[in-house]
Structures are given as C-alpha cells and as structure tokens.
Amino acid sequence: MQDLIEYIAKSLVDDPEQVVVRAHERDKSVRFELTVGEDDMGRVIGRGGRVANATRALLRVAAARSGVRATLDII
C-alpha cells in the first residue's frame, strides 16, 4: 500500500525526493499521510481532488488485498 502511494506520487511530481509517505496503523486500519514539495501539491491532488481520489480508489484495492481499511491524507 505504502509503495503504491509512493510510486504514484513520485511518478507525478517534479521533485520525487520530497515525497514522503507515513503510515499510522491502528487495529485493522491504516492511515497514510503523503507529503510532497509545495510546488507539487497540485500534481498529487489534481483539479477538484481528482488525482487524490483516483489514488484513493487504487489504495482501496490494495488495502482489500491485504484485508485492512486504508485512508489517505495529503498534507
């Protein structure tokens, strides 16, 4: 799951080195926090949050495969 978010974010930003994904696990759920460089925020969020929502949709599949629930915040 974490590598999925990392792969998508690093592929879309101009500065992959600033991409950081942190995972906070609690019981059967994981909350991911994605941070990117300030100038790259738009690339991982997208117009109307479209990129973020598409990423979340793919994260849901990855989470289901691992039998957990996962959420993604971009901060």
Q: What residues make contact with other proteins under the rule CB under 8 A?
A: 3-4, 7-8, 11-12, 47-48, 50-51, 53-55, 57-58, 60-62, 64-66
Q: CA torsion 29→46→3→25, rounded to 10°?
A: -20
CB of 69 to other proteins, least distance (A): 14
Query: In this structure, are residues 19 and 36 in contact, taking their beta carbons and an 8 Å threshold?
Result: yes
Q: Is 15 helix (H, G, I), strand (E, B) or coil?
A: coil
Give the nearer residue to other proteins in terms of CB position, either 24 or 42. 42
DSSP state of 30: E
CB of 25 to other proteins, least distance (A): 17
Placement of tokens 């994981």 in the chain? 30
Give the nearer residue to other proteins in terms of CB position, either 60 or 69. 60
